[in-house]
Structure 1
Amino acid sequence: MRYVYGLSAALLLGGAAATLAVGPLGAQTAQNDPSAMAASAPRPGAPMSFADLAARLQPAVVNISTKQTLRVNRQQQLPPGLEDFFRQFGAPVPGQDDDDNGGSGGGGQSVQRGGSLGSGFLISADGYVVTNNHVISPARTGATVDQITVTLADRREFTARVVGKDQAADLALLKINGQGLPFVRFGDSTRTRVGDWVLAIGNPFGLGGTVTAGIVSALHRNLQSGVYDRYIQTDASINMGNSGGPMFDLNGNVIGINTALYSPTGGNIGIGFAIPAEQARPVIEALQRGGKVSRGYIGVSLQNLDEEIAESLGIPKNQGELIRAVTPNGPAARAGIQQGDVVIAVNNQPVTPDQSLAYLVSQQPVGARVPVTFVREGQRRTVTVTVGERPSEEELARQGSGGDDPNSVTNPTDQQQSTSQRSARESLGLTVQTLTPEIARSLRLNDPNLKGVVVSAVNPSSDAASKVQVGDVILSINQRATATPEQAAAAVAAARAAGRKSVLLLVRHGNNAPTYYGVELSTSAR
């Protein structure tokens, strides 16, 4: 089960809203007026019990367990909590009871065994099983999955093989050898509405088949946990072990695959998430055909628009995504999209928090030519992008770069600071100087010819203090190149002249990919 840890606070102020009638009395009615509610009330056929539905569906839901092997040094100390990985399944803990593993308790490697528990469901009478990829994946780096066992509701056990899996979607397709098996079909999750009843069936905590009921709490929920987050949220109880199990509507159709829960403790608090069938079905069908999952890709690195970044660009906060980097010679680069552009629509569909750019692009066929609309320097533009094929997650990970923390930079004295440097210090709370090849080498930057201003001091009381540190390189301010303190001062002055309360900084931390930050301008420097 994937967790989204955190504490949520309910805002109770303004809990009630009033409707003000404008014009003739009775021209407007309350949302819960009896005459209006009559058409919205639950239909008479809604069940008083889910027993018949559960009895019909449970045989198609399966329990999934894995046996895993992990090789560790006997004297290696395990990270906190990992001992539970072994104890939960009756396996000895590394460094303890090594005699059971043919060891002497001394140095060398010890082979330890553990496993995982999850859920799944049959989609064909001949034994195709759908589950989450993380249910059948190694529980820890270095572990290997030796066996996957599928247990049916009637307690029959089958050894399963992996037909295919898709890490990006967190989905996997298994196959067991059987005939005449009970199965279920995918439904149309695009017709699902907030407030609809749903059933979740799975294997929480390894207890066996368990049915819970609830309603759809929200749709298109983005948890910022993956590229294609677009979950169905439910208050039906979902716990550890429910991963991979089905979410059913009242017609018995699979409208989601239970995947994650939101919890500060790891236990259920009534906020669970399921991958919608509209996303899962094409992936599973592609895996069943024996092919790989192909998704659209334009070659950009994205960043959400927070309030300060949006204000600095004069764009509504919930409209668009910021291009943090563009893959050289990728589809977006060839179409003319640049770092700092804010993409607001793909194929005439708006980019919003509920409908991310990555999701919209992934739905486009490889090779399709689609219009992409973006904002650059306050001007709306549209270009046509030829969609490429998304590389594997492993290949994308290899493209990333990292770097050591930068060394300190010499801080000029007040007498040495120019008017432009003082302007940056007073407006942003930052002391900057031109990045020279010598400074770049001292910071161990992999590009000695990088153009920008390097931060040599940060006012701890400034807004920038929580985002920028000494040694960072500012590449641009409000999408204007800043190779010198004078250019930085000019960009700040232009922002003030435009009435901006904050500016957009493109900052590079060491050799990491540049990141955008919205930084408030000091009011005392006006």
Structure 2
Amino acid sequence: MHRANVKSLVPFVVAVSCAALLLVPTALLGQGRPHREAAVGPLRQLDDAIESLVRRVSPSVVQVLVTAVGSAEAPGRTGVLQQEQVIGSGVIVDSGGFIVTNAHVVSGAERVRVVLAEAGDGEGARPLPGPVLGARVIGFDKATDLALLKVDTTGLPALPFGEATSLRKGAVVFAIGSPAGLTNSVTMGVVSSVAREVDPDHPLVYIQTDAPINPGNSGGALVDAGGTLVGLNTFILTEGGGSEGLGFAIPSGIVRFVVAELRTYGHVHRSVIGIEAQEITPTLAKGLGLTRDWGIIVSDVAPGGPAAGAGLRIGDVVVSLNGRPLGSLSELVTDVTMRSGGQPVTLAVVRGTQRLSLTIPVIEQRDSLDRLMGSVDPEKNLVRRIGIVGVPVDSANASFIPDLRLPTGVLVLARASYAGGVESGLAAGDVIHAVNATSIGTLDDLRAALRRFQAGDPVVLQIERQGRFTFLAFEIY
């Protein structure tokens, strides 16, 4: 009914408009034309500028096609799995074939492909679907919902990183991706917030925008008026399932940091100062007798950690970070996390009636693989031809591998990008079980199997990753 009403209005409006034109004296038709042309000029300039930006940026955004295994919705039954087809987006961040997307797009992936965009045939023509390439997951970081992919090609149009910290509320931005599988779709909006904390229990800040974002846009680009990547579109808040003007993108600074970590190590090294903190609520402030009912309060200080050594105490209220007012816990977490080990932070804190300034050194947080890496000789454990540092799986290190199904093989501790090995798609935490169907039990087994290959030979690694078996195929050189 609603659709019929809309359709019936259109001819009515057109007919009235045409009739009105017939009643206008011919002499008056030419009046006001210079004014109209003067008004149209700036609009045409704006139109040309947007078209130019989109034409320049669109080839850097790809469609990501994922074949994954997930739980099936089967009423009254549990443990039912089915194969899923997932469509998302990705952004080329390096011309050598590195593409960033969201971790949730490639979660549980058995196969990943990317569809490149080709430039249109003519000036202003729309981008067309291009080649479909197989992609490998280099690594992913669940905490930030980011993943790095690699395709075996070069000369791709990489999108330069912009500075999300320079964005201001109201700035014009463009969202590019594949909503509902519609490749290289472009929408426009403004920045609604430059640092929105959506979930206090998950301290990350996002760029909020009203640029329409829908399912399939995940992993796509949010670009500024200069055509640089200022965010990676990640999720929306919606009641109806589609865009309602509440879209959120991971800021470019976080994306750039995670991409560099994944590319170098296959996982993310984070820095810490040895505290737990939480946001102050009115109830908490009233119960503790605080003078302010907002801000950040220190809830724990690790004994012997950097913060303890600098004199920080439980109950201190953090009011500024490196001379800047601190508005949310996520700002503190983001700043500390992305700092290199050894770089200090300066916190201004309120303790009772005192205001103190404390300088705290930042240290790198080491996970189980990092600790294991620290106990081996990188050169002795290097497998140069595939650019990894590994150890044979044994009873001592098997506990570091959650959900290990086959307790033999070679555990990848780190990717050794300095070694110049082939891009195999291996990531820290992977276990190599076989090379071209030949079982692998030790580093010597792995090296011997790889020595048999000539440049250009196909290599297939059977690996175990997070409790799932998969194959990694590539050509050796």
Tell me the TM-score normalized by structure 1.
0.54
Distance in 1 (CA, whole Å) between partners of 2:340 and 2:259 is 17
- Residues 1:170 and 1:51: Cα distance change in structure 2 (over 3 Å): same
The answer to whether structure 1 residue 135 and structure 2 residue 111 are counterparts is: no
Whether the 8 Å CA contact 1:303–1:321 is kept in 2: the answer is yes
Alignment of 1:119 with 2:76, yes or no, is no
Shift of 1:255: 1.4
Q: Secondary structure at the match of 2:334?
A: helix
User: What does 1:149-228 correspond to in 2, within 5 Å?
Assistant: 149-153=113-117, 154-224=129-199, 227-228=202-203
Q: Distance in 2 between matches of 1:285 and 1:384?
A: 27
Query: Contact between 1:94 and 1:112, CA under 8 Å: does it hold in 2?
Result: no
1:47 paired with 2:47, answer: yes
For 1:262, the equivalent position in structure 2 comes to 237
Q: Tell me, in whole angstroms, the C-alpha distance in 1 between the residues paired with 2:271 and 2:96.
A: 32
Distance 1:244 1:392, change over 3 A: farther
In 2, the alpha carbon distance for the partners of 1:224 and 1:283 equals 20
Query: 1:278 — aligned with what?
Result: 253
Match of 2:285 in 1: 310
Counterpart in the other structure of 1:357 = 332
What displacement does 1:134 show? 1.7
Judged with a 3 Å threshold, the aligned counterparts in structure 2 of structure 1 residues 262 and 200 are, in CA distance, closer, same or farther, namely same
- Alignment-mate amino acid for residue 390 of structure 1: Q
Matched residues, number: 317
Matches within 5 A, 1:77-476: 83=73, 112-138=82-108, 145-153=109-117, 154-224=129-199, 227-290=202-265, 292-311=267-286, 312-318=288-294, 320-353=295-328, 356-391=331-366
Alpha-carbon distance, 1:267 to partner: 2.1
Aligned 8 A contact 2:159 2:228 in 1: yes
CA contact (8 A) 1:218 1:234 kept: yes
Shift of 1:391: 4.8
- How far off its partner does 1:129 sit? 0.7
Equivalents in 1 of 2:200, 2:316: separation in Å? 24
Change (3 A) 1:370 1:199: closer
In 2, are the aligned partners of 1:169 and 1:228 still within 8 Å (CA)?
A: no
Alpha-carbon distance, 1:332 to partner: 2.3
- Distance in 2 (CA, whole Å) between partners of 1:259 and 1:68 is 19
Distance 1:297 1:243, change over 3 A: same
Measured at CA, do residues 149 and 226 of structure 1 come closer, stay the same or move farther in structure 2, by a change above 3 Å? Answer: farther
For each residue in 1:51-107, what CA deviation from the matched residue of structure 2 results, as whole angstroms up to 9, or x when unmatched?
Answer: 33323322221111222235x7xxxxxxxxx52xxxxxxxxx5989xxxxxxxxxxx
Shift of 1:48: 6.3
TM-superposed CA distance for 1:292, in Å, is 4.4
Change (3 A) 1:293 1:166: same
Q: Which amino acid aligns with 1:263?
A: T
Contact 1:200 1:211 in 2 (8 A): yes
Shift, 1:194, TM fit? 1.8
Q: Provide closer, same or farther for how the CA distance between residues 221 and 200 of structure 1 changes in structure 2, counting only shifts above 3 A.
A: same
Q: Which residue of 2 aligns with 1:452?
A: none
CA distance 1:346–1:191, shift in 2 (3 Å): closer
Partners of 1:270 and 1:151 in 2: CA distance? 27
Aligned AA (1:189): A
Higher percent of residues as strand: 2
The 8 Å contact of residues 117 and 206 in structure 1, kept in 2 or not, is answered as yes
TM-superposed deviation, 1:233:
1.2
Aligned residue type for 1:58: S
1:58 aligns with 2:22: no
Identity across the alignment (%) = 37
**SS class of match (1:133):** coil
Q: Secondary structure at the match of 2:188?
A: strand
Measured in 2, the distance between the counterparts of 1:149 and 1:203 equals: 14
Tell me what 2:402 maps to: none
Provide Cα deviations, 1:365-407, integer angstroms capped at 9, x if missing partner.
3123433332233432333322222355999xxxxxxxxxxxx
Task: Indicate the RMSD between aligned Cα atoms, in angstroms.
Answer: 3.1
Higher relative contact order (CA 8 A, sep 6+): 1
Using the TM superposition, give the Cα deviation of residue 127 of structure 1 relative to its aligned residue in structure 2, in angstroms.
Answer: 1.5
Q: Letter of the 1:121 partner, please give it.
A: V
Q: Is the CA contact (8 Å cut-off) linking 1:168 and 1:393 kept in structure 2?
A: no
1:164: how far off?
2.4
Task: Measure, in 2, the Cα distance between the counterparts of 1:194 and 1:358.
Answer: 22
2:67 corresponds in structure 1 to 67
SS in 2 for 1:134: coil
Task: Give, in angstroms, the shift of residue 279 of structure 1.
Answer: 2.4
Partner Cα separation in structure 2 for residue 282 and residue 334 of structure 1: 28
Cα contact 1:220–1:355 (8 A) shared by 2: no
Once residues 132 and 175 of structure 1 are traced to their aligned partners in structure 2, the CA distance between those partners, rounded to angstroms, is 14
**Structure-2 separation of matches of 1:201 and 1:229:** 22
- Structure 1 unaligned blocks of 5 or more: 1-41, 73-81, 84-92, 97-107, 139-144, 396-526
